[in-house]
Amino acid sequence: MVFESSPARGDTLWASRNEYTLRREGDALRMARKKVVLVNNETALYSMAFLI
């Protein structure tokens, strides 16, 4: 679940499945890919800021 708080729109709760692909670089892990599948993906979205 992702929570978005906006002064203009108020609070929004997004239900999603998130998948991350990590890549090892030296002693650290770095994110190579992020995939977000929203539960309500059939409706238009007014903001995609929560994906960043």
Among 50, 43, 37, 51, which residue's Cα sits nearest to residue 5? 50
CA 47, 16, 32: angle at the middle one, nearest 5? 85
So what's the pLDDT on residue 30? Answer: 97
Residue-range definition of the domain harbouring residue 35: 2-51
Distance separating alpha carbons of residues 7 and 21, to the nearest angstrom = 33
So what's the pLDDT on residue 13? Answer: 80
Q: What are 2-52's pLDDT values in tens digits?
A: 777 878 878 878 788 889 999 999 999 999 999 988 887 676 666 666 555
What domain count does the chain have? 1
* Long-range own/partner contacts, residues 21-29 (CB < 8 A, 24 or more apart): none
So what's the pLDDT on residue 7? Answer: 86
> What's the whole-model pTM score?
0.54
